[in-house]
């Protein structure tokens, strides 16, 4: 069993909360981090899928919290998704 050690001021350390957040990210198709791993850092990430639909990687961007709100960060999701799709179609299938 892995211990959920806090790394930032908003780290998720409760397994049920983590499960909920993972399910929420899967449902919306992107993940966010709002000072969960590093104080003062926000990020958003999307999956990069192979042509057969399997996960290959993630594409993300991050910014200092004092420069970007989470609304700013999530506004980047369409651009990240477009880039992830472009990368994905160029990947070999499994």
Check whether 2 has a pLDDT greater than 90: no
**Residue 17 Cα distances to 4, 12, 88, angstroms:** 11, 7, 30
Q: Within a domain: residue 20?
A: yes
pLDDT for 94 equals 64
Neighbours of 46 (CB within 10 A): 23
Tokens linked to 84 = 């992830």
Asked if residue 8 belongs to a domain, the reply is no
Q: What is the pTM of this model?
A: 0.88
Does 9 reside within a domain?
A: no
Band (pLDDT 50/70/90 cuts) for residue 24 is very high
Contact between residue 61 and residue 44 where contact means Cβ atoms under 8 Å apart: yes
Q: For position 20, which CATH number holds?
A: 3.30.450.40
Three-state DSSP state, 62: strand
Domain count, the chain: 1
CB atoms under 10 Å from CB of 44, counted, come to 23
- Region 30-52: mean pLDDT is 95
Residue ranges making up the domain that contains 72: 15-90
């Amino acid at each position: 069993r892995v211990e959920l050690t806090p790394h930032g001021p908003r780290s998720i350390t409760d397994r049920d909360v983590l499960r909920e957040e993972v399910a929420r990210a899967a449902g919306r198709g992107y993940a966010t981090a709002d000072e969960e791993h590093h104080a003062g850092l926000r990020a958003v990430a999307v999956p990069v899928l192979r042509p057969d639909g399997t996960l290959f990687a993630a594409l993300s961007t991050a910014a200092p919290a004092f420069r970007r709100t989470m609304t700013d960060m999530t506004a980047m999701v369409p651009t990240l998704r477009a880039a992830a799709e472009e990368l994905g179609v160029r990947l070999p299938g499994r």
